[in-house]
Structure 1
Amino acid sequence: MFRKISLLAIALLIQLSAVAKEGMWLPLLLKSLNEEDMQSRGFKLTAEDLYSINKSSLKDAVIRFGNGCTGEVVSDRGLLFTNHHCGYGQIQAHSSVDNDYLTEGFWAMNQAEELPNPGLTVTFIVNIADVTKKVLQGVNESMTEAERQKKINQNIETVRKEAEGSSKYKAMIKPFFYGNEYYMFLTEVYKDIRLVGAPPSSIGKFGGDTDNWMWPRHTGDFSVFRIYADKNNQPAEYAADNVPFHPKKHFKISLKGVQQGDFTLVYGFPGTTKQYLTSDAVEYVTQVTNPAKIQLRENSLAIMDAAMKASDEVRIKYAAKYARISNYYKKWIGENNGLRKLNALEKKKAFEKEFTRQLAKNPALQKKYGTLLPTFQSQYKELEKYAFATDYFRELYFYAPELIRFVSNFRKLQTNIEQLEQDKQLDNEVEKLKSATQRHFKNYDLATDQKLFATVVAMYQQKVDPSLHPEVFQMVQNKYNGDWGKYAEYVYNKSIFVREASVNDLLSNVSKKTAKKLAKDPAYQFVESFFVSYMEKTQPSYKAISDKIDRMMRDYVKAQREIFTEKTFWPDANSTLRISYGNVEGSNPRDGMEYNYFSTLEGVMEKRRTDVSKTHEFYVHDKLVDLYEKKDFGQYGQEGKMPVCFIASNHTTGGNSGSPVLDGSGNLIGINFDRSWESTMSDIMFNPEQCRNITVDIRYVLFVIDKFAGASHLVEELDLVRN
């Protein structure tokens, strides 16, 4: 028995050690934690070349693109690359039936043709600092959680103000390891970002939803933007006389290509990982919430797909929405499959047994942490119905139908119109609503939204615990016999919120009567009931239990770091700047299946459909076919073939989209854009043998820009490295 336990302990520590060489690492700590290991794998630079506060370093060429992607600066005139799907919203915003840049692509042949994008920003990281001691100063274990958080918030504000001073920089302070540590990121934000180029969707989105999260992949998932600044190279709002930004650093681009085993490094802003979840949480994710959300989105996507196929106008309006909803729908399917394949639940339980065994060997630790795991189990059981209702509420609010989110913008006007008027804020609120109305109806189709409303609200009623239902559900049952189709027809026929003209008419003459008019509107009545019910019946319990679990997670992670001292821990991703590294390598995802590490243009032609329209996911542009048949690959081909994508064992997640993928010398070799389907479970449990990130080869990017689009002037801006 002792030998079996010892072998389990050894196996767990070996597993922990292997995973510790992966992860998403803070650039600030590379010197102490990773430099030696990186160099042993083929990294030819130093940690300071990647991150330095004393001189320009590669971090100065990495930007956060918008609010959820990464990008890289590639010229001394502010040119940047990111993914096509990251720039998709901007490309769509400039598109119309007459100028369908989504389908045909867009290329500015000079700077005067580059298109501004209101609201789009890029963010540079100026400095990263460990501020744990300052943030936790005065915090002690005798405090209640509320007292503790109040003190932390006060300290954060003090540190933030001290760091920003009167400078142009902004300080962002975030918790790591569930609040055991805190780091500050000093940032600089540029606001004049212009669209320079985008391939047609037949390249940038080739394979569409069928190939999403899959390997082999043949997608040229990139777009090109440029950062503009004022004449002093400082951040500025859009102005016609702004000039291209001159960065501290930009990436050199390698034309050498990649080989099996080559070192690779991903530098970016990964969104969220949850590697420290307990088995109870993993069980909820895999067996409850993922299956439910998959079913919900499957129904929504079917409705959108039918509408988009029936109308080019609807297709353009809903293209970005469909892609956004589809992305995680397919990700959750892959995540569940990957976690099952990895036996993640069993491994979590095995780790918890070892954790408990190690605690028992130390009375002080046992006293401090011994009740954690049993309490987790009871808390997750209590949380489940509230968590499920919250998941569904967020799905309806953030994704579909759009009516719910749009109407919610008017709640402040309806409930506080007199206060707004008294504070002389009414005009500002009305202007915000006018802007929201314009944005909403630009990409809105009434018939499609009505079908979505009837379908997904009915699912909410069926799946969510009846004790958490809003009162309006009972009205629908009484008046419409529970027929959500009939109720949706009534709402969409009678509400002012489904037609732009009626909303604008309401906002053109706002008075105290407006509040009464809103209160009588059927769409507003539904949304009000929906929101009030969630805020009163679900949110308080969900927050209280979640907060308790988060507090316990702080102790759980702290306990692991005290017990397993052999392991080098990395903090969960939280949209802050990170580095992951690995090697170019194929994979064996399933029995009898072996994947090569690269794909070529030949695979595009193999997938090509000749009997489809330009908007089909496997349509191939005639010019691309012509270049392929002539083998006209310019300086970008290799041995008579045109490389398209490659895979490597870097640990990535959402937010890494658009991240620069670098070789051992710090040269850009590709743009990260996806993971294989077998890898999507890596947000919860990473397996270096199973997980592969997918990168568009930079040579394919340049081939498309130069040979396909004829935008050779952009290539001339770049620093190309051939050896």
Structure 2
Amino acid sequence: MRRYVTTAALLAGAATIAMPAAAKEGMYTPDQLPEIAADLRETGLEISPEALSDLTGFPMGAIVSLGGCSASFVSPEGLVVTNHHCARGSVQYNSTAENNYLENGFLAETKDAELQAAPGSRIYVTVAESDVTERMREGTERLSPNARYDTIEQRMKDITAECEQDAGYRCLVASFYGGDQYKLIKRLEVRDVRLVYAPADSIGKYGGDIDNWMWPRHTGDFSFYRAYVAPDGSAADYSPNNVPFKPEHHLKVSRAGLEDGDFVMAAGYPGSTSRYATLTEVENTFGWQYPMMVTMLNEWIDTIEETAPEGSDARVKYESRLAGLNNYEKNLRGQIEGARRVGLIDRRRIRERSLADWIAQDRSRAQYGRAVRDLQALSAESAAAAREDYLYNYATNSQMLGTAQRLYRLAKERQKPDAQRDPGFQERDMTFFRQGLQALDRRYDPAVDKAEWMLFLDQYLDQPANGRVAVLDRALGLTGNVDRAALSQRLDTYYAQTDLDSAEQRLALMNATPAQLEASGDPFMKLAVALYDYERGLETESEARAGRMLAVRPTYMEAITDWQRSQGVVTYPDANSTLRVTYGKVLGGVPRDGMAYLPFTTLEGILEKDTGEDPFNAPAKQLEEIRQRDYGPYKLDSIGSVPVNFLSDLDSTGGNSGSATLNSRAELVGLLFDGTFESVNSDWDFDPKTTRTIHVDTRYMLWVMDKVDGADALIEEMDIVD
């Protein structure tokens, strides 16, 4: 087990660490930043690098998580800015076909007019972090795989429970370096979140899926929430008596913005990367998994669009899902193309050979060699299991069936003491569980759900018979030559006879016993009960593989860390939805032969793209303001217009959406919201030539608020600086 030293202990050796001269690869944890202080200053940072390692100081105390996106406080009154696509679920939740905030936008003229965000919406403010590696890993090397997994999971739950004895906080134990390090992270959980302002989709989603991951870009991807707490300042559920949260720190918003070549950094909560994945894992992902998923996603998207036509209430309910599926499909295509373009598999093969050569140079590194071999074998085994389960997992992918399965699992878990229940089914999770059941009405339509399920079952039935699962076949009557029309009619009876489409009934079943659910005549519940033992068996097998992985991946990461340190490289951990900082410069690029990206786009580019039809249908008022060249104080002289979006060479991934983009003085100059198509493969392999991140410029945000939507009160509320 590697003992990770503190930042203070590293400072003495920081001068020996060499940093790359090109793009600044790395999603650094805040406590790593003093270690690279010299390069931060050289790149242009004006504030103290040490200040960035203080989670509760400025500016990090203003950076928050939404549980899947990043955001930041921008006023003393709990005003939070994030991406439009991060708040879009709340806009969709409050929209109907008659009152469509997605189409028309939403602006609360007063705090009283602010709307409750979608159920389950949270704002998390990190307040403390501590290393718990020794407690988490002590003695686990001697355990069997399943016992190791169970022990580590139980310790996570125990440490979390101790931390959450302080009411109003949500704690988590996060794994770094493949389980070689664990940190306890304590966050204030703001549960009363309200939608303040979201521009119309024709601004916030301008260009839609056509422009997604593309440059040049002209998307106003920004929205505002507000955090509310009880009058005494404690976290509380929604109440009209609650008051705006008073953050210790908030960001000033720059109207001066940036120029080409300026220093820029982003602080947020990137979700997941695989920079240290093995060759076997890369080959499986790009040789099988991603291509299969692209095919499935395209058919899934087509099914929803055909069943929920434009303008229908069903389409409103499924807009967020469609946006997510389209985003994911294009991302995967970009990753496949990027892997081919940079020769990812060959690059990973070369890296593993170089690592093996380094290990072979010193007998004391023998344990590293064993870990690499064991990890490769285990990776191959995990890939084989994923292939076996792939179509079954989709064949059981119905929202109604999933609801029944969660309710039955809850009834089973509630037979255990709370501390022994699986994550997601403890008392700490019940608010989310309940809100998820409540929110289903706003994102479910029986015709669409049935069409999706039929699509997945069709693909399941098309596979060879030896790939089928007997318990599912028996429960659904999928034996012999299955008549697809008869199967479709059978599914119709499921939807006609279920009570799970009632929120009241779903919530009531949270208190049901296993026996009561086993006696249910609801067809979805009967299917959930039938599949339960089989799925728990799959889970046990998966946990055994995870337990074995927990024995070898940490040693593998120690090998990577030591090898890179011998080359003067700082090893940052893969992204894991914890607070990170990435930095670099405003920078265009040449992603491929004959193509050049300028660093800024302008208002005039909106006019050039606009067709009057979705997704290039900017509001008439916006088009008129652009034609009149009414730039106000938001013009960037070097481009002769208001900058809409800009590029940087920052290192980012999913979860970074909404990350505060800061200048050298830690003033807000934009929001990170996307990467270029050529960059998406950077989850696996950072290429400084092609990796570019896309940001919405604060000057465009302010221009829209001022000239188009009349959000004067919000502009007045924020600290605007030149």
TM-score, scaled relative to structure 2: 0.87
Q: Report how far residue 470 of structure 1 moved.
A: 4.0
Q: Report how far residue 661 of structure 1 moved.
A: 0.4
Structure 2 counterpart of 1:132: 133
Given candidates 623, 626, 629, the residue that maps to 2:627 is 629
Aligned partners of 2:433 and 2:51: how far apart in 1?
47
Cα deviations by residue, 1:66-98 (Å, 9 ceiling, x for unpaired): x21111100111111001111111111111122
Give the stretch that moved more between structures: 482-491 or 526-535.
526-535
Structure 2 counterpart of 1:379: 378
Structure 2 counterpart of 1:577: 579
Structure 1 counterpart of 2:212: 212
Structure 1 counterpart of 2:291: 291
Describe how 1:36-435 pairs up with structure 2 within 5 A: 36-52=38-54, 56-65=57-66, 67-117=67-117, 118-136=119-137, 138-139=138-139, 142=142, 144=144, 166=166, 169-366=169-366, 368-392=367-391, 401-412=398-409
Q: Report how far residue 573 of structure 1 moved.
A: 0.9
Structure 1 counterpart of 2:6: none
Aligned partners of 1:324 and 1:525: how far apart in 2?
31
Letter in 1 for 2:75: S
Does the aligned pair in 2 maintain the 1:254–1:720 contact within 8 Å?
A: yes
Letter in 2 for 1:557: M
Give the stretch that moved more between structures: 471-480 or 83-92.
471-480
Q: In the superposition, relative to structure 1, how do residues 141 and 94 fare at CA in structure 2: closer, same or farther (>3 Å)?
A: closer
Does the aligned pair in 2 maintain the 1:678–1:691 contact within 8 Å?
A: yes
Given candidates 586, 589, 604, the residue that maps to 1:587 is 589
Aligned partners of 1:150 and 1:461: how far apart in 2?
35
Aligned partners of 2:57 and 2:413: how far apart in 1?
50
Structure 1 counterpart of 2:25: 22
Does the aligned pair in 2 maintain the 1:492–1:498 contact within 8 Å?
A: no
Aligned partners of 1:497 and 1:15: how far apart in 2?
66
Does the aligned pair in 1 maintain the 2:599–2:646 contact within 8 Å?
A: yes
Give the stretch that moved more between structures: 523-532 or 437-446.
523-532
SS of equivalent residue, structure 2 residue 197? strand
SS of equivalent residue, structure 2 residue 260? coil
Structure 2 counterpart of 1:604: 606
Aligned partners of 2:354 and 2:581: how far apart in 1?
30
Q: Report how far residue 417 of structure 1 moved.
A: 11
Letter in 1 for 2:459: M
Give the stretch that moved more between structures: 149-158 or 118-127.
149-158
Counting matched residue pairs gives: 690
Q: In the superposition, relative to structure 1, how do residues 463 and 638 fare at CA in structure 2: closer, same or farther (>3 Å)?
A: farther
Q: Runs of 5+ in structure 2 lacking a partner?
A: 1-16, 418-424
Aligned partners of 1:433 and 1:546: how far apart in 2?
25
Letter in 2 for 1:626: E
Q: In the superposition, relative to structure 1, how do residues 514 and 568 fare at CA in structure 2: closer, same or farther (>3 Å)?
A: closer
Q: In the superposition, relative to structure 1, how do residues 134 and 576 fare at CA in structure 2: closer, same or farther (>3 Å)?
A: same
Q: In the superposition, relative to structure 1, how do residues 506 and 15 fare at CA in structure 2: closer, same or farther (>3 Å)?
A: closer
SS of equivalent residue, structure 2 residue 448? helix
Q: Report how far residue 232 of structure 1 moved.
A: 3.1
Aligned partners of 1:382 and 1:144: how far apart in 2?
18
RMSD between aligned residues: 3.4
Does the aligned pair in 1 maintain the 2:499–2:505 contact within 8 Å?
A: no
Aligned partners of 1:517 and 1:365: how far apart in 2?
59
Structure 1 counterpart of 2:665: 665
SS of equivalent residue, structure 1 residue 618? coil
TM-score, scaled relative to structure 1: 0.87
Q: Report how far residue 114 of structure 1 moved.
A: 0.8
Q: Report how far residue 257 of structure 1 moved.
A: 2.5
Q: Report how far residue 166 of structure 1 moved.
A: 4.8
Structure 1 counterpart of 2:12: none
Q: Report how far residue 310 of structure 1 moved.
A: 4.7
Give the stretch that moved more between structures: 194-203 or 550-559.
550-559
Aligned partners of 2:269 and 2:469: how far apart in 1?
38
Q: Report how far residue 495 of structure 1 moved.
A: 4.2
Cα deviations by residue, 1:358-411 (Å, 9 ceiling, x for unpaired): 122112213x232344444433333323112445555566xx532331232343
Aligned partners of 2:305 and 2:136: how far apart in 1?
49
Q: Report how far residue 35 of structure 1 moved.
A: 1.4
Aligned partners of 2:212 and 2:378: how far apart in 1?
36
Structure 2 counterpart of 1:4: none
The share of aligned pairs that are identical, in percent, is 30
Aligned partners of 1:226 and 1:186: how far apart in 2?
21
Q: In the superposition, relative to structure 1, how do residues 263 and 189 fare at CA in structure 2: closer, same or farther (>3 Å)?
A: same
SS of equivalent residue, structure 2 residue 309? helix
Structure 1 counterpart of 2:4: none
Letter in 1 for 2:600: F
Aligned partners of 1:455 and 1:625: how far apart in 2?
42
Q: Runs of 5+ in structure 1 lacking a partner?
A: 1-13
Aligned partners of 1:130 and 1:477: how far apart in 2?
52
Q: Report how far residue 43 of structure 1 moved.
A: 0.7
Cα deviations by residue, 1:151-184 (Å, 9 ceiling, x for unpaired): 6567666765776665754543222111222222
Aligned partners of 1:465 and 1:690: how far apart in 2?
45
Structure 2 counterpart of 1:11: none
